[in-house]
Structure 1
């Protein structure tokens, strides 16, 4: 297994993790006003994402790679689209925000699953990513339940 492939896979996940951090940071204050019980979960997910980011950077460095510590183009475009959409939305930005969190958590899980199935990872990287994927699944389920609860 080549370090170059491993580093490439890890850098893709690093960008996705940075997208998560950036996305959570853009959550409207209105969400906290209407659903104060979700703020603690968002804060936990931001902290979790920062720990995941550090783990990914460490793995990349251990493989002799250069961490691409930025967001992805797709993530940047999505956040811009959400900003535009929210500027024209009359009504429930809060539910839209929760839906977007669920959508992006699912996308992150799929990226992790693809990385784990790629065959391009060493055992240590696979172990770390498996643990991170488990955390993503828990977060996804929690926000899916919050979204369903808020929509009823």
Structure 2
């Protein structure tokens, strides 16, 4: 197991987590205020993302790595695309925004699963990343339910 490769994988996850936080921040105010019944879940996701971010930073620094603590370029492009798409959305902006959240959560799940599948993580990192993946899957299921509920 290559320490540099482990740091690289963890930094990729850190950027994805930062993308998730930025994505949630962009959604705030557009949808959640209209649906106070899901506001608590949203707040929990933000808090969870910040904990995940800190855990990843700690794992990277424990390996003597330098955390790349910024959102990714791909994430910035995706958020810009969502802004453009939403500016042309006619009808239900809430459903469109929920679809984007579900899409983002699914992409994060795939990235986390790929990170685990690389075999480049030490035992401690694997345990933490696997737990974060479980939380992402829970989040995805929750938002998928909300998205389906809003379509009815």
User: For this structure pair, what is the TM-score category when the shorter chain's length is used for normalisation?
Assistant: over 0.9
Name the counterpart of 1:129. 129
TM-score by length of 1: 0.97
Is 1:47 paired with 2:47?
yes
Moved more, 26-35 or 129-138: 26-35
Name the counterpart of 2:65. 65
CA distance in structure 1 between the aligned counterparts of 2:108 and 2:22, rounded to whole angstroms: 14
CA distance in structure 1 between the aligned counterparts of 2:57 and 2:48, rounded to whole angstroms: 14
Once the two structures are TM-superposed, the CA of residue 7 in structure 1 deviates from its matched residue by 0.2
Distance 1:59 1:86, change over 3 A: same
Moved more, 63-72 or 90-99: 90-99
CA distance in structure 1 between the aligned counterparts of 2:36 and 2:85, rounded to whole angstroms: 23
Q: Which runs of 4+ in 1 moved over 2 A?
A: none
Name the counterpart of 1:144. 144
Assess if the C-alpha contact under 8 Å between 2:20 and 2:49 holds in 1: yes
Assess if the C-alpha contact under 8 Å between 2:32 and 2:42 holds in 1: no
Is 1:37 paired with 2:13?
no
After superposition, the CA RMSD in angstroms is: 1.0
Name the counterpart of 1:7. 7
Once the two structures are TM-superposed, the CA of residue 130 in structure 1 deviates from its matched residue by 0.6
Once the two structures are TM-superposed, the CA of residue 28 in structure 1 deviates from its matched residue by 4.8
Name the counterpart of 1:90. 90
1:82-108: CA deviations, max 9, x gaps?
Answer: 111112222211101111111111110
Name the counterpart of 2:117. 117
1:98-142: CA deviations, max 9, x gaps?
Answer: 111111111101111110010101000000001100101100000
Number of positions where the alignment pairs a residue of Structure 1 with one of Structure 2: 152
- SS of residue matched to 2:90: coil
Once the two structures are TM-superposed, the CA of residue 35 in structure 1 deviates from its matched residue by 1.6
